[in-house]
Every structure is written in C-alpha cells, then in structure tokens.
Chain A
Amino acid sequence: MKSELTVNGRKIELDVEPRMSLLDALRDELGLVGTHAGCEHGVCGACTVIADGEAVRACLILAVQADGLDITTIEGLAPARGELSVLQDSFCETHALQCGYCTSGFLLAATVLLRRTENPSRAEIERAISGNLCRCTGYTQIIEAIELAAERLGHRNTNEPEGAA
C-alpha cells in the first residue's frame, strides 16, 4: 500500500505492507536508524518523532497512517551537516546522554516543548519528557540540558527572532 509523507523536508513515497509501523518504515525502508525501538508498545518514548509539529510515538503509527504527515526525525534536527542545534549542543554540554539509545526521543520531545514554550518551568520540562524512559542518566542532566537550551535560545532570540530549538 502506498503512503506519501514528508520526512526531514523530503517528499517520500513508501509502498509497504499495511502492518508496517512508521518506526520500521523509517529504519528499514528509509535507513533512518537514529529512531530507535525501545519497547514497541508505546511506553518508553525511544521512537519519538515529530509529526505535524507534535511529538508522537512512531511505533504506534502505521506507515500507511502517516500518509500526508510531515515527519521530523533525529536526522533532521541539526541545522546543517556537521552542526548541532542549540538543544543538541546543550545535551552535550550538561552530559544529558550516556548510552545514547533513548536520546533521540528526548531531543524530539524537548524540541517540541521549546518551540511551544519560551521559558519552560522545571515542571513543564518534566511533563514534556515524562513519557520518555532513560535508564542511564536519572534525568537530572537531561532537565538541565533543556533548561540550558531554553536559556540560550532566549538570549539568542533577542538578536535572532527566528531562532528555533
């Protein structure tokens, strides 16, 4: 069955079995293996991608349901090849990742938060990432990274109103 979607700004046409999840389509059909399978029952958030501006679980969406959606994956976050987004750089700065497996899910969930909320409180940050499990960090350094990114974006926004997470 055909499914036409946009992935990281590129128009994609998939022809897949209806039972294929968006997660498997991204990984196996498009080679975008930065989106990870953590539980495939919608509880861990490792497969989080952005669909039409909202964080969603790629494991709970069929590739055919994604027809018409605009998807951003971890591979589409950096502003340019070799660069990091403010949020990605903040994750490095505060040591917000260890094994890296859950990291893309956190980055995408937090990217949406920072787009929608200029100066998120700690509680807002916790809410935005509470659907994502990390077994390595204990979350403190992830929360610090998002706070740092918000602060940096805030500062940058005074000069560059277009600044996005």
Chain B
Amino acid sequence: MPDGATNTGIGASVKRVEDKRFLTGKGNYVDDINRPGQTYAYILRSPHAHAKINSIDTSAAKSASGVVAVFTGEDMQVGSIPCGWQVDSADGTPMREPGHPALAQGKVRYVGDQVAIVIADTLDQAKDAAEKINVDYTPLKAVVDLRDALADTTLVHDEIETNISYDWAIGDKAEVDAVFDGAAHVTKMDIVNNRLIPNAMEPRAAIGDFDRASGEYTLYTTTQNPHVIRLLMGAFVLSIPEHKLRVVAPDVGGGFGSKIFHYAEEAITTWAAGQIARPIKWTAERSESFITDAHGRDHLSHAELALDANGKFLGLRVETAANMGAYLSTFASAVPTYLHATLLAGVYTTPVIYCNIKAVFTNTVPVDAYRGAGRPEASYLLERLVDRAARETGLDQVDIRRRNFIPSDAFPYQTPVALAYDSGDYEATLSSALKLAEVDGFAARKAEAAGRGKKRGLGYSTYIEACGVAPSAVAGALGARAGLYESAEVRVHPTGSVTVFTGSHSHGQGHETTFAQLVSDQLGIPIENVDISHGDTGKVQFGMGTYGSRSLAVGGEAIVKATDKIISKAKKIAAHVLEASAEDIEFAGGNFTVAGTDRSMAFGEVALTAYVPHNFPHEELEPGLDETAFYDPANFTFPGGCHICEVEVDPDTGTVEVVSFTAVDDVGRVINPMIVEGQVHGGVAQGIGQALLEGCSYDEDGQLLTGSFMDYAMPRAHNLPSFKVATEETLCAHNSLGVKGCGEVGAIGSPPAVINAVVDALADMGVTDVAMPATPQTVWRAIQTAKS
C-alpha cells in the first residue's frame, strides 16, 4: 500500500462490495428476471450458411398449443442493424455496408441467422412449435474460407458485387518499400490469428416489455453498454425515441467484448413485445451462443520486418485479410484498422510502417471485438516476427528487443502509425519480468526436462496496447459514429451518503468496489457510504459503457470530475455557513476548514445544509449537492509490459504444458491491486486458451464444427499454472489518476509468449513456426515437417 493510503482508499486491496450477492446466489442476471404475464421466445435459425428463402409456412406453428404469435422477416419491417464505425477504402470508396436485418429478408447468410420468432406461454411450447415451421430454402454455395472470399467468385452480398467491405491502408507504401530495398536482413512470415468464440459463461438473454398505458418499451439485456444499445436499437432499428425506451443491463455474467454489440434478438424481442403487448423472454441456449455471439480475431496476415546489420528495425510491412463474417457487427470495422494497424509500432522505434487491411465478408457468424480486439492480433504478429528475426539473425531474444525499445526518456513518442504514446518504461517491465520468471535458471530447468524426455522452451512478449478508448475528436475523425467519452453523476444525499451513477458497466470488473474506493478517497467519507449505480438507462445519464479497458481511465475520470464539482460546490456552502470566502476553504480528510482557523464543517454537515438551505443567498448559491460530469480523454492510454512463458512439450505426442507464466504489466496507477491481479489472470488465461486450445472451425459448407464445450476447448483449472504477476507503474500523463487500464493486457501480451516458448522448445528440432492453437496434432505435425 502506498504511503498515506487508507485501508479502503487508492492502492488498497479492498474486498469486493459485490461479492456477497454472488456468493449467496443473489445475483440478478437477465434470465433471473421474470415479468408479470411473461411469454417465452424461441428463435428459429438458418441451418444453411447461405440460402434463398422461397417461403416460410408458419401456420402449423401458429395453431400449436400455447403459441401467442409467430413473426418472420416479412412481418418485421424495421431498420437495418447498424455498424458503429465507418472505415473507408484507401482510394476513398466508402465502406460497403450491406443491410443487416434482424429477421432474415429473403436470404440467410450464416448458420444461425434469424429466420422467425415463436412466442408462447412456455419455452417448451415455443420450441416445440418452432419445429412445425416449414421453411423452403434453396441452398446457395457458401464462401467460408477467407482466401476463397477474396477471390469474389461466390458473393455473400450480391448487391455490393464484392466480398470486400473496405481495402484500407495506413503508412506510405513507397517509403516503406524503399527501406526494405536497402535492408541488411528481412524477416518474413505468414501469420494466422485463429478465430475464437468468446463464450462468456452467461449466455446472452433479452426480455422485451411494453407498457400499453405509457407507450414505453423496456429491454432487459445482457449488454456491456445499455445506452449504446438504446441509441442503436431505438434510433436506427426500431425508431423508438429514447424517452420511450429504457434499457436495463443488470448483473451480466461476463462479456469480453461479445456483449458490446447490438444483437438482432434485442430488437426482435423489443419489437415483438410491442406487437403482443406482453413481456417476452429469450435466453440463448449454449449451442445458439456458439452460432450467434460475435466471434473474435480471424486474421490472415503476411508480415515483413526489415532490419539493419545491428538488428535495428528499419521498417514493417503488413498485409492483412480480416474476416468480418456475414454482416458488419457494431465495432467490427474498427478492429483490424484502428485497434490493430495503429498498434504495429509496438514498443519499438521502427521508423516506417505500412499496413493494408482488407475487410472480408464470409458466410460465417459476424466477427467483432473480443478481449483485446485488434491489439492481440497486432502483438501476436509483431512479437512472433521479432522472435523469428532474432533467430534468423542470431540475436538473443531479449537483446533484439532492448536494441529496439522506445527509450523511457522519449515520451511523448509519436509512432509512424498515428498513435502518440504518453508514457511507458519497457526496460523496467522487461527486467522485472526476467527476475520474476527466474530466467537465469532456465538452462538448468531445460536440461532437467530433457532428462525426462521433455522439450522445455522459453518465450517472450514485450507488448503495448492502446485502451481507454478514446478521444471523441480522434475517434470521429477516424469514422466513429459516436463519441467516446464517459459520464458520471455524483449525488450526495442529505445525510451525507453518496450514490454515483456511472455510464460504465460492470460485468465482473468490480466497479462497485473500485469506483467506491475512488469516491471515498476523494470525498474523505467511509466506503460504506458510497453506492455505485449502473446499467439502467432509466436511472443513469447517457454513458458509453465498458469495453477497451476504458472504465477507470475514462469512467473513473468522469467520476473524479464530478466529485471535483461536488467539492467546489460544497466549499461554497461551507464558506457561507462559516462566513468565509470560498477561496479560503480547505478540504481535507472529509472536513471543510477555513484556512488557518479551527472553524470547520464535516462533509455530512455540508450535505445536510445543502438540502436544508434555510438562509442560502439564492442568487449566488443553489440548494442541493448533485453534480454531473462528462469526461472526454485527451488521448488513448498505453498499458504495456513483458510476458514470459515457459512450456514443456512432449515431442512424441505434441502435448504442450505451460509450466510457468510471468506477467509484468504497466497499467498505470493501481487503485485495487487485488482486482488488477484478477483481471490480468483472466486475460492471461484467455490468451493461453487462444494459444493452446481454442480454435473455431467451420467445414466447407459453413457448418460450425466446434459448436459445444466438448469441441471448443477452453482452459480448465488443471490446464493453467499459477501465474506470477506484478506491476511496474508509469503514470498516464493525461488523466488525473494516472491510470491506464488492465482488462485486456493479459489477453494481448500472452499468446505470442506462449507460441514463442513452444517454438523455442522445438527449435533444436528445426521447428520455426507453430500455429495457434498449438494442439497436440498441430505441434506433432510441426515436428514431423521439420524432420522431413
């Protein structure tokens, strides 16, 4: 705990306020909510990856027992589900955005596409009735593989005459090509970032409700950003004005990005509730989650790194095809461009970079942001390339990184790919990680493992990420169709307790604790007197929600801004009561004191006075103590660090075991170390999952082959070691707290460390590359290929 910290203030590992309800089964998730008169919906989905709908016969379903209504795309004529970010092609052609209907209009474009909704008194009745719907399809050829889609021989959307949504670029290609021409060495790699399925443990759910008396709609939904859903769904899809639409996101059981986006089921249940004037509950079955939750990653890249004779990076050139799936999901277009290409400088001084991105439609589930969103793809590409470059040039893995680090005295540092880093110390996180990982003892451990027939390897990743998205002005210039600020209202009650309304949303991050620590610290009041309220557009002012590790760096700053306003107002009140000037009031330890005197008022007294303003001079001083602030950051924040992974590979079976994982991250100032540690652990677990176990796979007809927890393997308790984690702080230079963000660092930094370790383990057998996920068969194949 830093000097001067209290046991609940900034820097303290305060036990989570929210835990008690979860530990006793009192959490309130969407599927736990039941509304009076509630009906249940089952959504009939396309079994084909690509097909024309000739007709839909719902008559038998409509007359089935308990059925209230059946609707198809013909019934639901509403707006298209919008994409939130416009990314235009390098030649100026606007992004191609084909219509994205909530219920299919004449065609289906992936297995899982919504075809009809059946609403009945019970879920069993709805599901049984759905089996009676007869859809006449003409199956069409599906395009599933990214390479096939690029050839444009089969089109996902006929009307745009290509599968490419945009062909975007950053950097001066001619300048970069020139650098490559003169380079001493060029390292080249084809790199696949495997497609993932986020799989939050809580399946998505939505309850649409409609109040006939007031004409108000309410949607309870598993979202990370209720206001964004209200805006997207209300304004673009259903044309419901915001004052007639309330969106509630209560406890949400994990998101990892997959619950950012506006999904069709939200619009369908809300619209249909209006049609039948009864509440409708829809809860995804797990098999539905697999084929409807936006997938993540899925990049195919060719990357080249030019080096001089001393191992200094001269230039980087990258061509990436990014799978968008069948439709552009909410954030999809921004992921490979502004969250990936702009991160390709990494922590290195590479002077020139060129990156071309082709965003490609396929007959698969839409692909969008998943924990890290673009940045894991960038760090994986870069850190694999650097690892390879070191092997090719004979440089040590640590040495090549040190030679190219942006030095700690170079900040602010303008990269060649738009971003300007404000702070960081990459040597500090690296050297700390080297110690924590006991790299000095690795050779002995490797020799010992060899005695057991195991190949031991060590892999590094020194990564950077950009989070706390983002300055609205920058985002707007880059095509964002929304601002990216955050809001907070700090409402001080007459007896001195405080409710904070935040536009951020917690789905596991512990905001109710971290934000309460902040406010308790700022206002000098006990943490028990602070409540955090979020997730209900009926209570909370417009906010942008939680993703991109932004809650503390943007949402927390908004709270600080609002508490600053509270303190300023409270000083005026204290000054009035204490008959001093506001400038002479000092605020410390929860007390307002006239400077240089013992005349003082406690925070609670000021609060009471604010609401009992018997003698306020009303021209100068309003009653009440309630302030709202919106905070729009000046820049992204740039967490970074060093991850070191140690693996043992069984060369006979190809089985990989992670025996040790070390993460030293710079996430800026840490408010609650216990929560930060948990965030890092969780991110690393997902990163190791991506590297070793998880891979979404389709057959050539577009049927998902990994559609259950049996087939899609996520880490279990015995697949992971205990993590060694630590932080090294450099403060963010442009926010008052100095915070950067910790939600995604684990998932961004870890995959290249794991794969570099596997390659290191097998390097003496001639292996130079192993694809993710490094399953036994993939590793075995790599060994055999190297042998032959």
Contacts and interface: CB of A to CB of B under 8 A. Distances in A.
Asked if A and B touch directly (CB within 8 angstroms), the answer is yes
Contacts of B681: 137-138, 140-141
A133 B720 contact: no
Contacts of A84: 20, 23-24
B618 interface: no
Interface in A96-153: 97-104, 107, 125-127, 129-143
Interface residues of B, number: 55
B411 interface: no
Contacts of A35: 25
Contacts of A100: 18-19, 21-23, 27, 251, 253, 508
Contact of A135 (B252, B254, B285, B684): B254
A32 to B, nearest CB: 7
A86 to B, nearest CB: 12
A136 B723 contact: no
Contacts of B199: 135
Interface stretch (B375-383, B470-478, B707-715): B707-715
Interface stretch (B63-71, B80-88, B111-119, B672-680): B672-680
Contacts of B16: 92, 95
A99 B23 contact: no
Contacts of B19: 91-92, 97, 100
A58 interface: no
B508 A34 contact: no
Given A40-B285, A99-B508, A135-B254, A93 B685 contact: no
A41 interface: yes
A97 B716 contact: no
A32 B25 contact: yes
A127 B202 CA distance: 23
Interface string A70-100: 0001110110000010001001110101111
A92 B18 CA distance: 9
B174 interface: no
A78 B686 CA distance: 32
A43 B686 contact: no
Interface residues of A, number: 54
A104 B21 CA distance: 11
B252 A99 contact: yes
Given A75-B24, A135-B199, A99 B720 contact: no
Nearest to B252: A99
A143 B722 contact: yes
Contacts of B124: 17, 19
Nearest to A101: B253
A98 B15 contact: no
A93 B15 contact: yes
A57 interface: no
Given A99-B200, A100-B18, A39 B708 contact: yes
Contact of A92 (B15, B25, B31, B507): B15
Nearest to A139: B717
A154 interface: no
Contacts of A66: none
A6 to B, nearest CB: 17
B787 interface: no
A41 B286 contact: yes
Given A33-B25, A92-B20, 19 more contacts: A37-B283, A38-B286, A41-B709, A43-B710, A44-B201, A46-B201, A95-B675, A98-B678, A99-B201, A100-B251, A102-B201, A129-B717, A130-B717, A133-B201, A135-B682, A135-B686, A136-B254, A138-B682, A138-B746
